[in-house]
Amino acid sequence: MKKIIISANIVAALFLFSSCSKNFLDKEPFDKLVPQSFFNTEKDLNLYTNSFYQRMLPSALAVTTEDEWGDYTSKNQSPQFIAGSYTSVNEPSWSWTNLRNINYFLENAGKAGVAQEVKDHYIGLARFFRAWFYFDMVQRYGDVPWYSKTLSAADPDLYKSQDSRSTVMDSVLADLDFASEKIKDVKDNTASTITRQVALAFKSRVCLFEGTYRKYHTELKLEATSGKWLEAAAAAAKKVMDAGMYKLYTSSKPAADYRTLFISENPVADEVLLAVVYNNALRRWHEVTWKFNSATYGSRWGLIKQFVNTYLNTDGTRFTDKPGFDTIQFVREMAQRDHRLAQTVRSLGYQRSDGSAAPPNFGYTFTGYHLLKFSLDDKRLDGVGESYNSIPLIRYAEVLLNYAEAMAELGKMDAGIWNETIALLRTRAGVEPTGPQTADPYLQTTYFPEITDKYLLEVRRERGIELVYEGFRYADLLRWKKGKLMEMQWRGIYVPAKDQLMDLDGNNTPDVCFVDKVPATKVPGVIYYVLDGTASKLSEGNKGFILWREDEKRAFSDKKYYHPISNTDIVLNPNLRQNPGWE
């Protein structure tokens, strides 16, 4: 069982972790916790820091549906932030409770009668979580107030304005430097605790984000400092690589190894550094399979064709170099592709655990690229929240990608770095790993016209494919200043004609038919997808790509690189500056 789990009631009783009615200083979090009698032993330090895991790490569903915000997925409808009227009134008030509990611990941990290295380990854990908290805040809001102490109601800092991005992120980096030096350097095969390797991997994530954000967001006038952050990202990732505690998981089965990482009950210890851990016997369950396989409970997520086109052929060639690649029908489209594709969406020959055929189900997706990656194969779980697969939060694959991207951004990518990063990922996926000879014109035309570096283009391709639906894509678009990709048309599979029965899993039985009206006599087992001509249509009228939500107007202006500060928070603290464009 995950050793970080403790009773929420015990945590609440000990620490009074209750949300405040107006702001984080309305009530002290330690009314019943007397520092002199609590912060004495390692057990005390461990108990307090355990609460950070439970309160701050995301749930399985939060991780796997975060990419709903990305450019490469269709759904029922876009978030209001992207397609709709959104103002500071819509923005929820921010919460500082977790930060306050962290700072309270940091102010008192030194009182424990334990060795300094023991204190430093737990202080390192608290500083790791403070960095986690602030990284989330900066990604969402940009400039935010930095607090490194608990505040009283009389403290003038309570009503201060935001600190600069540089001040906050330099403080985050200092926290991560401390954490990655002082937290114990042990391997946790349960992937449920923060270790030094986890801290280093997370540091590589944070530094890559900040380095590329500063590089591409020239309006910040911080591009001269981007190199420092990219160097730090590469160095942190390389330390994890050189430590040798982790590696890419492989059993030499390219058609299965990738998905094993996402459907295993116990985290795959070779590769997974940190996970949200679930357990069937202990009835610790989540609802991800249900969400991905329900017409009503989920949002009917599905990948879009433009992204699916980026998966290579197994021989390493580009699918988009094939003549007529965009009009190839699904069965041929899925054949001889990067094996991660068939482990990410339902593809040829996919079956449920009872042996029944399970082609893409247009009752659960609008594009035909039906997400599979985290779904368990038991049909029963399509209608009940009892999934028990653990969900990775940090994987060694990400560390390799962080290192490769940082080096490419620094202009230091070469064949050697390629072979110890991207080539390894492609080999596991059954793809010929030879490096690129030229820049990919499809990636340039469709996604990154401003990028000419052949290596950087391939790293971005690989990052999208390897980490799809693990909650990275929206943040990647923000840091690359590619928010306009959120306006991309949602294209589905190619349909040769209306009213034509189509086989989607290659077993010579029809699965779907695209119609203007459901026929009076239906073929058993066939889903009839009604095209209404408004939200759903075919790109060429009677044939072409499925186009979904053509009635929706998605817009990503520059102000949306940050969320507005909540109107509630500005009323409480008039010294806060509203983010540009949201005034």
Which amino acid type is present at position 488?
Answer: M
Q: Which of 475, 410, 476, 419 is nearest to 233 (CA)?
A: 410
Q: How many Cβ atoms sit within 10 Å of the Cβ of residue 166? A: 14
Judge whether 112 and 41 are in contact, CB under 8 Å: yes
Other CB atoms closer than 10 Å to residue 535's CB: what's the count?
14
pLDDT for residue 26: 39
pLDDT tens figures, 378-413? 999 999 999 999 999 999 999 999 999 999 999 999
Q: Which tens digits make up the pLDDT trace of 267-318?
A: 999 999 999 999 999 999 999 999 999 999 999 999 999 999 999 999 999 9
> What is the mean predicted confidence (pLDDT) over 239-246?
98
- Could you tell me what percent of the chain has a pLDDT over 70? 94
pLDDT tens string 199-223: 999 999 999 999 999 999 999 999 9
Range of lowest pLDDT (12-26, 45-59, 320-334) = 12-26
pLDDT at 1 over 90: no
Per-residue pLDDT averaged across 475-497, rounded? 98
CB atoms within 10 A of CB 100: 21
CA atoms within 13 Å, Cβ hemisphere of 412: 12
Residue 479 has, within 13 A of its CA and on its CB side, a CA count of: 25
The mean pLDDT of 322-349, rounded to a whole number, is 97
Tell me the CA distances in angstroms from 295 to 286, 307, 366, 383, 535, one per residue in order: 18, 23, 10, 10, 17
Query: What are the structural domains, with CATH classification, of the chain?
Result: 1-68+96-184 (1.25.40.890), 187-277+391-470 (1.25.40.900)
pLDDT tens column, 436-472: 999 999 999 999 999 999 999 999 999 999 999 999 9
Over range 37-62, report the average pLDDT.
Answer: 95
Q: What is the pTM of this model?
A: 0.94
In the predicted structure, residue 23 carries a pLDDT above the cut 90: no
Residue 37: the pLDDT is 75
State the average pLDDT for the chain: 94
Band of the pLDDT at 32, cuts 50, 70, 90?
low
Percent of the chain scored above 90 by pLDDT? 93
Instruction: Report the C-alpha gap between 10 and 16 in whole angstroms.
Output: 9
pLDDT for residue 319: 98
Write down the pLDDT at residue 15. Answer: 37
